[in-house]
Every structure is written in C-alpha cells, then in structure tokens.
Structure 1
Amino acid sequence: MGIAENYGHEANPRSKSANDLARARDAGFHSLSKGFEGFRNSLDSIMSDDPRRSTRGGKILYGGLYSALDQTYEHPQFNVLRRAIREHTLQTVPILDGATFFGPVTDSPWTSVTAIVRATGHSDQTVRRLLVELGHLETLRTPKEAIFIRKDVASDVIERFNNTATLEEASEMLGLTTSVVRKLIDAGFLSAVRDGQTAPARTFKMNDRYAREDVLEFRARALGTFGSTVEPGWLPLGAVAKRCNIRVIDVLQLVLSGRLVNVGRLACGPDIGALRFDWEEVDATQRAPKSSLFGRTEVCKRLRIGNDTFALLVRNGLLPSTQVRLRAGRALSYMVTEQAIDDFDKRFASFSRLTEETGITGKSLRNQIAEGRRRLGLRRPN
C-alpha cells in the first residue's frame, strides 16, 4: 500500500531499494493509522483504472495484493481484510452479481443498462435516453465503464417505464388512433409526465410519456356506466364525429360532461373504441336553438353596428355571448341571447342610430361630443 501511495500502483516492489521500501512502509502505516478511512484511501490509490476491471475481477483491480489474499493468506485473521476490501470495492466499482470477488458476488449494488433493457422490454437507446434525462448518464454514447448503473437507480427507471406509457401505448389502451390522442393531449385531457429534477441539456429528442394511471382514469370516465345495449344505426366515435361534422374530442367532451344518454358499448371491447353513439342525439347538441340565440349577422342588424364593433363588444364583455359549434361548420361561433340584445339596446346606441333618432346631424353630434356637451355611452332615450 505504501509503495502504491509513494510510487504509483504500477510500481514494482522488487525494483525498490531498502530505503524506498522503508519509506513505503512508513507511508502505509501512516494511512492505516487513520482507521478504515485511511485504509479505503489506500485501496483507491492501489486500484487499477483498467476499463476491464468490472468484468475481469480482483486480479485486474489489485494485482498481487488480491492474488495473495485470495490464494496464499488463508489464515482467518486475514478475513477482516478481505471483507473490508470487498465491501469498499463493491460500493466503488460496478462488479455485478454472478462475478467472483473473494467468493461469489450476490449482493452487488450495481446492475447494467442491458439488465434494464431486459426488464422493461424497451430498446437500449430508449433506456439510455431516460437515464440521460434523469441525469444518471452524461451522454447517450457512453464508454464501457459507464454501462453500469446502481440498482436503486435501475429500480426507479424500471418503475417509471412500468408506470408510464408512450403515445402509441396510450392510444392502444384507449382504443383510439394516435392522431386523436394527440388532440386529447393538446386539449388538456392528458398531460405528459415531467421530471422535477434538473436534467442536462438535451442533444436528442425524448418522446413524452404519460402516466398509465391517468390514461386508465380517462378511459374509465369516458366509458362511464354505459351498458351494452346498442341500437341499430348507432355509430362508432370516428363515424359519428364525421356524420355530425364535428371533432372526435368534441364528442368525447359531450360524453364527459354527461350530455349524451344514448350511448352503448360493445361487449367485445373494453376501450373507448367500443362505444357506439346515437348520431341524431349528438347532432341535436350542436344545433343552436333559433328562438333564443342570435348570430353575428342578426345582432349587427338589430343593433346597427358593424362586424368589427360586434367583435369588440364581445371581446370586452359588453355584449354577453356564448360559443356554439353550428351545424354548418367546425368553427365555434359567438351567439347572443335575446335578453342580452335587449339589455344592451336599452343602455347603448350606435352613432348612426343616434343621428337617426335625435334628428341631429352627424357633424353636429360629433361637435357636441368634442366640446364635452355630450359623452360617449349615451343612454337611448325612452
């Protein structure tokens, strides 16, 4: 140990003089006098940095010291030394279970990326990307000694894979296409799992993963308590959306909000794809009641305002409105109730309407407003 500390772990004791050996003994004794901490530091100075050390065992790591303790010094008094070297080495060097280091290794705290790949069924590249994302590997292309991972880290990674799903897996669980699931994600129905730790800057694309629990919860909400009664003419999700000229996520929103009653589920399917819908009921939810709601054109005509003014009033909340998806198209349209039109008409009047009802010319009215004799936001006279 003293020779390694003074002259390096590759030094040959036979080449040293008596004085060199005496200085080495003093250095070794000084380290060991510090107890196990000094002993472990001495081991680190002896330990080889050969990249094969994890697979080739103690001979590569410690050379003649390991050979002597393993084959020559069999007296039980050396057991404490063997145990101390074994414990420190297994914590420091990734020697896997099944190897031999002063006996068979069965309690190693290390495992390999390959073992994670076998346990999860995911590719080596996918596993490495998650390890980089979590900060356990620095790069995707790692040297040989970096393919080993501590078991607690491996357990965490395996658990993450088992508890999360890719976009394709989530699509299969829901019985929907990946394009529909992407729209559900964009609409906020599902969210990707984000790691709270600070990960290194990515130089690669890491596919999002989604909590299986959230996916299953969403599926259960969508399936609800619908029975297996399916009437002739009821359509699957994609077909009913196309028939009613709306989006698939709009149909799902109707289901989640409890606005649909005539929904059945095929007995052969446990996923959302097994649902069947009464397209007439779905279509009826998209039609605005003509007797109570008015669109932009009718509102502008009744209040004598332009399209830009209508948009301004709606945007600023001066004209209460609701968004309705009309039968004619996919876009949401702002609709206004009869009561909202009447309330606005009692409080405000457009400039053109004022000139018509008061008999004051437009120029005169503009002058009165400019001079402060009249203010904007005039009440309509009774």
Structure 2
Amino acid sequence: MSSTWLDQFDLQASLDFCDLLGRRLARDRFPQLVDMSRRDRWQAISTGFEIAAAGEEALRTKFAEMQQVEGAPQDGPQKRFGILYGNLNRYHTGAAYHPFRSILRDHIIATWPIAAGVQVLGEVLPERRLHSVLTAARETGYSPERVRAILAAHGHVPEKCVGKINAWEVFPAGPAMDLLRRVGCGVTVKAVQKALNMTPSQISTLRMSGYLEPSVSGDGHRPLWDLAAAEAFLDKLLLGAVPVAANEPEWGEIGAVALRFRVPPGDIIRMRFEGRLPSIGTRQGIPGYRGIVVRSSEVAPNLVRAPAGHLNMEGFAKRIGLPRPQVRRLVMAGLTPSTILRNPASGAMQHYVSPQDLDAFHARFVTLLTLAEEMDLHWQKLSGPVRKSGLAKFLHEGRDFGQLYERKDVPTGWFQRVHP
C-alpha cells in the first residue's frame, strides 16, 4: 500500500477528520447524518480522504474554496465549515486531533478577520490580526464604500474595481490601526463648520495657511477632521479674548482685516499664536470663529514684505501649489535651497526663497501646479493622468510632501502623451 500524508497521524483521528470533511462537503445533499445511506457515508469519507491525503497545502486550498465560494466572513467559521469545525471545536479535542485542529485554526486566523478575544478552536486571539473592509467600516462607523476608498488611498487595500468584495478584502490590522483610529474619530467638514461657526470658504482659506488640516485625507475620498483638534485650535485662538461691542469700529473680523491688508487670514492668526498681536476680541452674540475680531492698528506693524524677488514660506507654497506645512518641512530639511534673511519686523532670522532658489527647486522637483503650468493645462485636468500614470510621490524618511515629484521620475515623453 502506498503511503500518504495522513500516515503520520493517529488512524482513528485521521478517519474522523476525513469523515467530517467529506460530510461537510456533502452538506447540500445531506443536511443531516441520518439522510445518508451507508454508501453515501463511504463516498463522503472517500472524498475527504482524497483531499486530506494530498497534504496540508491541499487542505488549505479546499478551506479557502469553501469559505470564499460559499459565504462571507460575517457568517463565522462555525457556519462556513459546519460539522467539521463544530466537532473539532467541541468533541474531537484530544491530542490525536491537534494536528487537524491546528491546520484549520491557522487557516482561519490567517485568512479571516477575527476580532480580539474570540476563541478559534481552543485558542483565544489576543489581538486582531486581520481586518476586512466590512469589519473596519463597522469599527469606524462609516460606510464600507467610504472606508474602502480611504484604505485604498493609503495603500492598505486595492480599489474596489480591482479587489475582492468588501467582506473578503482583508488586510493586516496593525499597520492600519492609526489610520482607522483617525477615521473613527473623524468628522465631516460640515461638523467642523457647525462646531466652530465657520463657513466652508473660511476653512478652505485657513487650510491654505496650514491650519485646520484634516486628520485623514488623500486622493479618491472626502477628508475627515479631528473635531477635538479643531476645537483646540479655536480655544487657543480665543485665549485671552475680550468682549467687543458690535459698534466698535477699530475692531474687524479676521477675514475682513486680512482682505484690507491683502494678506491671508492665516498670517493674522500666526501673529496671534506667535505673540505679535497683543489683543483679540469676540463680538457679543456671535459665537465661534465668526465672532473673533482683531485691531487693524495692531496688525499693520506686523506686516512684513519679503525682500524684492524673494518669497516667504506662504508665498513659496502658493507659487508651487503645496500646503505650507509640507513646504516648510521641505525647506527645513534642506531638500530644496533657501536663503536666510533677517525679518525686519521681528528681527528674527527666517527662510526665504530667492529667484535662484526657486530655479533650483524647479530643476529638481515638479508639482501638479508646476507641471500644469509647463504643459499649459489647468491642474485639475492633470490630476487624473498623474494618478493613473503611477508616478511615485517624493518621499523623505518615509514621509511624503503632498503632490510633489522628482523631475527625474517623470518618464521621457510623458508630457507629449498627456498633452500632444
């Protein structure tokens, strides 16, 4: 008689395992054991034996087929593997059955989004190893479609059009833990507007200066905000605020004062946070951001114009179309040249970008905005082609800087293919 993989195990345990596997595979025809004739029972055992005799890999392949073809993870292993799982879990728990229990258990743990604390064939999972899009959606409270778009944007799962169904699209839970935490705590921009009493344009304008950045953002999905962080921003801005009557003309709303002096509202907020704006007030009866007012007479002395032909960080960010925090990181890391000059108002030394520095940036890097300018296109028309091209964003120490790319990575002739 030829030997098989099963020969290394206890004979009775092997027979029982083949019996249970075969009966589970015959479940559609014979839901109950009493429905099976002796011949049917023998055929079921033979079916189980043919699969098991081929070895562990053949068993894992069959297990995957059983769970993928016949159901979804939310059914649970008991339902998907039926009598095979049930008997190995409740009755066949002795040492002779350990090899078979281990193979099924390892397969389930390696492929199933099992939650922490759940027992699988005698072993309690101390922490979640896998999530599916569906379990992640339930954990965060957002729809599977939205969660999938976020996960895909951050490289944890493929996009829906090329991946599996949400219930079976599994991914390692550990690397996605922080992202899912931020998604679970995240709120929509409308919630931020309501909590801080801001308009959409006010939030958009402050984001250009690096304030009220979303906690979760990326291509292909709407951003989410950390409401606690947004409220902390407002509390910090309101620290020491004094009540101001509606008819006091020397005070003005931040946006109105910024418009008068032709500076971003973020510049005025930065003055306050840096201690260069002595006073801040709140209009009586107007809560939140819309009620905040400043004195124009205190703002004016803080306005610093960059030296002729030089850009400050705000101007540089606008010129190349990147958020100010990413631009500042890029400059402070020395990844693009800058010129250090004394700020005439504060006396502090700070970074500016000279025309020569800007030329050096353009020689090494491109952004969506600068690419669009070179190709005489609107940047929005270029966003899709860049994303589909797979052009890799510039990374430094594992962090990206938004839609920033090294010029050398742009394939030769790509400009002509996109815009012949």
Larger Cα Rg: Structure 1 or Structure 2?
A: 1
TM-score of the superposed pair, with normalisation by structure 2: 0.46
